[in-house]
Amino acid sequence: MSAEAEFAKSIVRLGVFWRLATTPRVRLWSGVGDFALPADLIDIEGGAYIGKGSLVDIPTLDQLVNGVAARFDFSISAVGQTELLELADEDAANVRGSAINIGLLPFDASEQPVGAMVWVWEGEADIVTLDSRLEGDRRIDTMTISAGSLFTGRRRPTFRHYTDQEQRRRSADDRFCDRVTLYSQNYNKTWPKF
C-alpha cells in the first residue's frame, strides 16, 4: 500500500521525524526507541533517529508564499540531550543556518514503515534559546530552536508580492503575473449554506 493510501485511512499510525543538519546531525522522532532510516534525497546519509521523548512540540507549519518572513519555534526537552545542549551552549554559530527538516512516515498495522519518507517542511535554524520555568513546584527545562525561512534574516522591506506591478518593476516587459489579479486571496467561502 502506498503512503498516500495509508494517510487516507481513518486511523493512521505515523512517525514525525525532525532533523537538524548541524555537524554532527541531530535526528529525533516522535515515537519510542531508535528508528534507523536509510538515506534519501533530503537526509543523504541516513541514520538513527532517537526516540526518547525529546520532541516536545512542533508548531503549525505554514507553507511560505509571497516571501513571508515567518518564524517557527520547535520545543525540545533540554534534559538528557547532551549533544544538543552542547550545540546550544558552545556552538550556536554552527546551528544558525543549518537546515531543519520535518518528515512524516506512515506505519502499517505491524508498525512497519510504508513507502518512503514524506518530507513536508524545510527551514533554516536561527536562534537556540534555553528556557527554564517553574510549573507548580517543578522545574521544566526546554530548548527552543527557532527556524525561519530564507527571508527571515532580511533587512529590506518585503518586495515579494507576486503582483503584476511588482513583477513589472523587476522586469518591465514580463507578463508572468499579468492575470494574478483575477485570483482572490483570503476569500471565505461559507459552508454549508442552508
Q: Which residues bind another protein (CB under 8 A)?
A: 10-16, 29-36, 51-53, 107, 110-112
Residue type, 52: K
Shortest Cβ 34–another protein spacing (Å)? 6
CB nearer to another protein: pick between 56 and 180 = 56
Q: How far is the CB of 187 from another protein (least distance, A)?
A: 23
Q: Between 30 and 149, whose beta carbon lies closer to another protein?
A: 30
| HEC readout, 70-84 | CEEEEEEECCCCHHH
Secondary structure of residue 175 in the 3-state scheme: coil
CB of 12 to another protein, least distance (A): 5
The smaller minimum CB distance to another protein, of residues 17 and 72, is found at 17
**If 0-12 CB within 10 Å is exposed, 13-18 middle and 19+ buried, where does residue 20 land?**
buried
CB 110 to another protein: min, Å: 4
Q: 105-131 burial, b for 16+ CB within 10 Å, e for fewer?
A: bbeeeeeebbeebebebbbbbbebeee
Nearest to another protein of 51, 123 (CB atom) = 51
Q: Which is it for strands 118-135 and 47-49: parallel, antiparallel or unpaired?
A: unpaired
**Is the omega angle on the peptide bond into residue 192 within 30 degrees of 0, that is, cis?**
yes
Q: Which CB, 111 or 135, lies closer to another protein?
A: 111
From the CB of 191, what's the least distance to another protein, in Å?
11
